[in-house]
Each structure stands twice: as C-alpha cells, then as structure tokens.
Amino acid sequence: MAHIDFLGPLHRSTPRDYLGRVLAGNKAEFAALAKKFGVEYWDGSRNTGYGGYHYDGRWRPVAEAVAAHYRLRGGERVLDVGCGKGYLLYELSQVVPGLELRGVDISRYALDHSKEEVQGALELANAAELPFPDRSFDFVVSLNTLHNLYLPDLYRALGEIERVGRRDKYILMDSYRTEQEKVNLLYWQLTCECFFTPAEWEFLFEQAGYGGDYGFIYFE
C-alpha cells in the first residue's frame, strides 16, 4: 500500500473561489441538488456541481500515468468505481488498446450521457455492493467517489474494492492537512460525507482490510 499522486497537477490547474462558493446563494440547497447526481450536478450551474462536465481530453495524462505505473497491458480487466461519464476509461482504452473495461456509477444521468465509445461497458451500481465475482479485475480504480459515502457504506466499499481486485488498486479521496485546507474543503464540497486527515484515512484503510494504493486531494 503506497501513497501516489496521479491527480495533483489536474486538480491544481482549476482556480477556485472558496468564499465565493459560500456567498453565491443557499449552499445547503445547492448541495441537496448536487447529491441527486443528476443534470444539476453534472451539467447545471457551477454552484451545484461541475458546471458542465464535457469531454476535453484532460484525463489523458492521468490515464497515461496510471497505465505506466501499473504496467497495464491489453487483455487485462479494469474496473472504475464511480466512473461518471466514463472519460478515464475511454482514455485508458486509447492508451492501452485491448483492455477489458467496466465501470459502475450511481448516477443514471452520467451513464446515459457517458462517452459513446465506452457506454456499453458501464452500469448502474453502488460502490458498497459491486456486482462482480471475487478477484474479477487486474486493476480497480476509484477517484473522488468514496468520500461521498456515509461511513458504513464507505467501509463496505473499501472491502468490495479489495474483494473484486486480484492485483492492483488505486483510490482517491478528499482530505486536509491544515485548518485552512479543512475550511476550504468545507466551503467547496457539495457531496462529501466523510472528512478525514491522511492519517485517519490510512487508519480506516487498515481497519477495512484495504491493501491497495491511494491518493488525496487537498484544497490548498
């Protein structure tokens, strides 16, 4: 189990007005809309989510780094837990032709509006109850998803990722190291249910029996 930063450059490339997010309106109402994970979250206002989540190639460097680090090869099976519109899976298919790809998400809207090339590989499912046999995948990835679960489901999801993966695994969560990062996270987030420091996340991984790699997003 190792800490690896695959998304830091992509995350830091987006400017964020933390105070403006809070002052823009009723943040509680915005969060309630975002947690439906429908059109408002993916393609609505920036106040309720991404403000339009469209394919623009930004996931290609992440896919290249992940594929190189885990030495992914054609014919291997890859699962994305919380795949959204499938952009990372699409980029992996381009970086490593011949991968057998699967993705799951709880958002019917995201799946219906996913990248056409991978749409047939995606299905509606919850991270806490993955619909796959034990040791089904060579690589399991979950980015910016698990922190959206309440603690009991988060614990189960970590166990599920461990169960269906037979080799490498990588998960990414929001975290904070300082009081300023904690405040920024609370100001910016819309869907997070779990807020932990890196040490607390690592403790939880151990308790849940998760043995894969991990990374954190910080709101600096």
Question: How high is the pLDDT of residue 1?
Answer: 87
H helix runs in 77-211, sequence order? 87-95, 108-112, 151-164, 179-188, 198-208
Full DSSP string of 104-136: EES-HHHHHTS-GGGGGGEEE--TTS--S-TT-
210 within domain boundaries = yes
Q: Provide the angle, in degrees to the nearest 10, between the axes of the packed helices 60-69 and 87-95.
A: 60
182 within domain boundaries = no
40 within domain boundaries = yes
Is residue 126's pLDDT more than 90? yes
Least confident of 12-26, 63-77, 127-141: 12-26
Domain around 96: 8-48+55-139+146-176+187-217
64 within domain boundaries = yes
Rounded distance between C-alpha atoms, residue 202 and residue 158, angstroms: 12
CATH of the domain at 110: 3.40.50.150
Rounded distance between C-alpha atoms, residue 45 and residue 105, angstroms: 21
181 within domain boundaries = no
Rounded distance between C-alpha atoms, residue 176 and residue 40, angstroms: 27
2 within domain boundaries = no
Residue percentage of the chain with pLDDT more than 70? 100
Is residue 123's pLDDT more than 90? yes
Domains of the chain: total:
1
Q: What is the pTM of this model?
A: 0.96
With beta carbons less than 8 A apart as the criterion, state whether 51 and 76 touch: no
Distance of alpha carbon 74 from its chain centroid, rounded?
23
- Mean pLDDT value across residues 162-169: 98
Is residue 14's pLDDT more than 90? no
| Sheet order of strands, 122-124 included | 122-124, 100-105, 77-81, 137-143, 165-174, 213-217
3 within domain boundaries = no
pLDDT tens digits along 38-75:
999 999 999 999 999 999 999 999 999 999 999 999 99
Rounded distance between C-alpha atoms, residue 145 and residue 166, angstroms: 21
1 within domain boundaries = no
The amino acid occupying position 131 is P
Least confident of 13-27, 77-91, 153-167, 182-196: 13-27
